[in-house]
Chains A and B, each alone.
Chain A
């Protein structure tokens, strides 16, 4: 019998805590597959965020560090600058990366830290129960924007890839989505390219993944995938925002 589906080696053999229909798990799997394919698990150090992915350190087989909320890029800097031969990645949500950790995110970009950021944009604070995030779209209802995000009150959403692409130290910034098979394939390709850029010392690489949060969106898993397609993609267009890798 041939095995058609098996767990990547870089993925731990434990059940994940994510909600049904949540795409955090898919992105975890893609990262683990890339670590396997590039043969880098043994020299990789991952940095987990505070957010739904806080337990990411239980799900990857490489060495892992759990950072304070928003500080993963600074923590990754500390690892990479003292261990330049390690491959270092952060895995962060939108509240973590684009609200409390904005300064850390922008400055790893400006310094061109040779690390990889996997950024999960699910337009809300999943872990704390669906509050407004910097990426919450105008009109979108969350528990702290119960009448819909109003630009006059809560301001405008932050477009992370667009922002990061203005920084000279960023080598690669791409936005992808995991709401269909084609998107999952493209996401894997982007993640692999991002890690390759780090291995080749090109500078900061960031992959923004449009991701689902069916629980806090109040949608079924299938409706959530549709939400990504119909509501998120128009506001957060997919594509390569910066690429100086020369690949």
Chain B
């Protein structure tokens, strides 16, 4: 297939369908409603289903049911709607169910705004539901990557029996760029869903999907088993992009839409002879901590650039064990920093030439 020009939101929807996700459950909210609309148009044509739920709470529980019965499925929303889904997400984690959830972030707290934001970083990576749990969080930074990571998200979800969250923002969702779906790679060896509750047909024992363990020892063991799985994920699935970091004195850490701005700023700073580079986490959870730690041996300063009041900065400090100063540049509420803003910050930090 040749390249096609698409909005980020549409690329995600089409990539999901191409990944064999024929069931979408959602509830309208700006800035991700195009996804539901795209699904509503396309699904009937490919023998799938797009169902508009009565709320985000219902939508995530439809996902819970669909995933329980072994179906590839997806829901999408934006910040306030994701908060509503958090109860369901915790149950999905507690039952080890695979599914894909998309958060096209907008500004908050509360009803907030509808402009781009990365203010749900903490929620996504630390606490998208009660209990001892993590989500696997992917952060695309281009429309092509939105398509590729969406497909990958389904494979990762099925491989490890986990929900995968794609954390995007309004700018990426609305952005139009060429996409080549042929570049998408599919994983082999996806395990059979022999655990699914879809009728035993008298051929096996009944399957039970539950997150309830009243016996503390049983609950502890179920959580420990899940954390073993997280360990394997940490070892195998951390992803990031490095840009001019090898000799960098200042390392910028940024993901998603801000990483694009930072990349331009790095190029501009390099033209002025400043040794700066960019580390772009593609997985926010697990976080590329080992790579950052390595970079802390050669870089003298770090800078995180985020569309929030400073959230990922905590993970950077932890990763490098506060061995080097970490500065922060951020905007919140829907405004985006410019390349010049980032460049000025780099110069202010006095990067070595």
Residues of A within 8 A of B (CB): 41-45, 47-48, 54, 57-58, 60-68, 71, 74-83, 85-87, 103-104, 106-107
Contacts and interface: CB of A to CB of B under 8 A. Distances in A.
Interface stretch (B1-9, B66-74, B156-164, B339-347): B66-74
B211 to A, nearest CB: 7
B201 A43 contact: yes
B271 interface: no
A42 B61 contact: no
17 contacts: A42-B199, A42-B200, A61-B206, A63-B208, A65-B64, A65-B210, A67-B65, A68-B61, A74-B58, A75-B62, A75-B68, A76-B65, A78-B62, A79-B198, A83-B198, A104-B57, A106-B54
Interface string B2-26: 0000000000000000000001010
Most buried by B among A41, A54, A67: A67
A74 B84 CA distance: 14
Given A43-B199, A82-B73, A71 B64 contact: yes
Contacts of B201: 42-43
Contacts of B95: 66
B207 interface: yes
A60 B88 CA distance: 24
A15 to B, nearest CB: 15
Nearest to B201: A42
Contacts of A47: 65
A87 B23 CA distance: 19
Given A71-B57, A75-B62, A104-B61, A65 B68 contact: yes
A71 B89 CA distance: 13
Nearest to A104: B58
B199 A63 contact: yes
B188 to A, nearest CB: 24
Contact of A67 (B54, B63, B64, B66): B64
B209 A65 contact: yes
Interface in B52-103: 53-55, 57-59, 61-69, 71, 73, 87-88, 91, 95
B127 interface: no
Given A79-B68, A82-B73, A66 B212 contact: yes
Contact of B199 (A57, A71, A86): A86
Given A64-B210, A74-B59, A79-B69, 10 more contacts: A45-B199, A65-B210, A71-B58, A74-B65, A77-B58, A77-B62, A81-B66, A82-B73, A86-B199, A104-B58
B206 A75 contact: no
A188 B346 CA distance: 75
Nearest to A63: B197
A58 B49 CA distance: 32
A69 B53 CA distance: 17
Given A71-B61, A86-B199, A78 B69 contact: yes
Contact of A82 (B69, B87, B209, B212): B69
A65 B71 CA distance: 14
B191 interface: no
A87 B209 CA distance: 17
A68 B25 contact: no
B48 to A, nearest CB: 10
Interface string B39-56: 000000000010101110
Contacts of B211: 66
B202 interface: yes
A68 B94 CA distance: 11
Most buried by A among B59, B73, B95, B209: B209
A58 B67 CA distance: 20
B91 A68 contact: yes
A59 to B, nearest CB: 11
Given A68-B87, A71-B58, A79-B68, A62 B200 contact: yes
